[in-house]
């Protein structure tokens, strides 16, 4: 993998996360208190730096095959999640990701929250909102930098790409004091999803013992392979969505019924609805936030790591693990097995999409 390919892959992935984190910090500062928001952002960045300082050297002690296997699996989990959402948005089954709407929703929620300081922080809500936003989005940046950089032995290049992406997005966001709504984030997520999935296939199969024909050159075939699969799925779902919309509208009684039918047809199935509308509804309420118990906080912490490692569909993760096990078994038996993980992705992606759009 060349220096430029690594730089571009990490830059795009980190830019997407930086846009979302910047939107949260801007909302906290605009609606509440800029000093507290900046303090929360700075604290989050310090925690992320500590994580990199601790986890970076620790990762280098892992056997390279084990590292490739774990990283490949996680990249596949992330990549397939991003691809599912990008495909659903491109085909009309899911609302496009709108940073401006998210910003307005976060702004309204921040304004409705109770005010008050704590421990020298003038506005505790602004501090915690910025801190959590930067930390949660930053964890994915840290993961991308450490995994891509360590496996390629180019942590410096990966770190530089991440820093450039974060700085550019942050400067642009704070310069105009608005979310980066014009950034083609959905397109970026589609591209990054394709790249994460492709590298996940490559490193996961390698870690399981498979030998790729052409070594690193196979990436020039894997990336187009994943992209073509996604474009085909988008075309199929668009046609299906359009046919359903026409059928529902044709049987709708009157203009109201037709409108409701069209809206219903363009919505997504259970489990894939965009949370923007729900967030706006919650933000519009003037009720103070409910204080969570220690048990609820522990459960939320566990849910975060479950989503981070397992993803939003455990069946896909289970399928990835099974494909790795079979690849390792075939490789140990001397059977060519590099094809197995790509075939698993070819099956798992349509399978998970079918579950989401099924009524």
pLDDT of residue 17: 83
Which segments of 184-304 are extended strands (E)? Answer: none
Q: pLDDT per residue over 152-209, tens digit each?
A: 777 788 888 888 988 888 888 877 766 666 666 678 788 888 988 998 999 999 999 9
Is the pLDDT at 14 greater than 70? The verdict is yes
- For CA atoms 191, 195, 201, 202, the dihedral sign is positive
Domain boundaries, the chain: 3-357
Q: Give the Cα separation of 323 and 326 in Å (integer).
A: 5
Measured between alpha carbons, how far is 273 from 260 in angstroms, rounded to an integer? Answer: 17
Q: In this structure, are residues 160 and 7 in contact, taking their beta carbons and an 8 Å threshold?
A: yes
CB atoms < 10 A from the CB of 253, how many?
9
pLDDT digits (tens, 9 = 90+) for 199-249: 899 999 999 999 999 888 898 899 999 999 999 999 999 988 887 777 777
CA 118 to centroid of chain Cα atoms: 32
Whole-number Å distance between alpha carbons of 179 and 182: 8
> How many other C-beta atoms can be found within 10 angstroms of the C-beta atom of residue 284?
11
Task: Say how many C-beta atoms besides its own lie within 10 A of residue 250's C-beta.
Answer: 9
To which residue do tokens 């976060």 refer?
A: 106
Residue 105: which pLDDT band, with cuts at 50, 70 and 90? low
Contact 138, 48 (CB under 8 A): yes
Alpha helices in 91-184 (DSSP H): 99-112, 124-151, 155-176
């Amino acid at each position: 993998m060349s220096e430029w390919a690594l730089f571009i892959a990490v830059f795009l992935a980190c830019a997407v996360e930086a846009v979302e984190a910047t939107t949260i910090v801007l909302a906290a500062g605009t609606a509440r208190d800029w000093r507290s928001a900046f303090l929360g952002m700075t604290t989050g960045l310090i925690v992320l730096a500590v994580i990199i300082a601790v986890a970076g050297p620790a990762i280098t002690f892992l056997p390279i095959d084990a590292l490739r296997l774990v990283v490949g699996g996680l990249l596949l989990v992330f990549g397939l999640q991003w691809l599912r959402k990008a495909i659903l948005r491109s085909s009309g089954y899911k609302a496009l990701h709108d940073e401006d709407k998210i910003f307005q929703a976060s702004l309204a929620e921040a304004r409705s929250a109770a005010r008050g300081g704590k421990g020298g922080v003038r506005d505790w809500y602004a501090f915690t909102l910025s801190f959590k936003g930067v930390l949660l989005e930053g964890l994915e940046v840290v993961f991308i930098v450490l995994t891509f950089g360590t496996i390629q032995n180019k942590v410096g290049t990966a770190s530089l790409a991440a820093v450039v992406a974060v700085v550019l997005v942050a400067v642009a966001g704070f310069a105009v004091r608005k979310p980066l709504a014009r950034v083609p984030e959905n397109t970026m997520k589609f591209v990054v999803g394709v790249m994460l999935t492709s590298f996940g296939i490559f490193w996961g199969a390698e870690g399981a013992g498979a030998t790729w024909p052409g070594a690193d050159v196979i990436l020039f075939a894997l990336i187009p392979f994943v992209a073509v699969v996604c474009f085909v799925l988008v075309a199929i779902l668009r046609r299906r969505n359009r046919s359903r919309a026409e059928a529902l509208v044709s049987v709708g009684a009157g203009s109201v019924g037709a409108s409701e039918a069209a809206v219903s047809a363009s919505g997504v199935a259970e489990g894939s609805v965009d949370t923007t509308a729900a967030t706006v509804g919650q933000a519009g309420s003037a009720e103070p936030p409910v204080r969570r118990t220690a048990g609820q906080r522990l459960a939320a912490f566990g849910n975060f790591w479950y989503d981070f490692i397992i993803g939003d569909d455990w069946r896909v993760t289970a399928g990835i693990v099974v494909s790795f096990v079979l690849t390792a078994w075939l490789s140990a038996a001397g059977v060519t097995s590099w094809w197995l993980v790509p075939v698993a992705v070819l099956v798992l992606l349509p399978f998970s999409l079918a579950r989401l759009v099924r009524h």
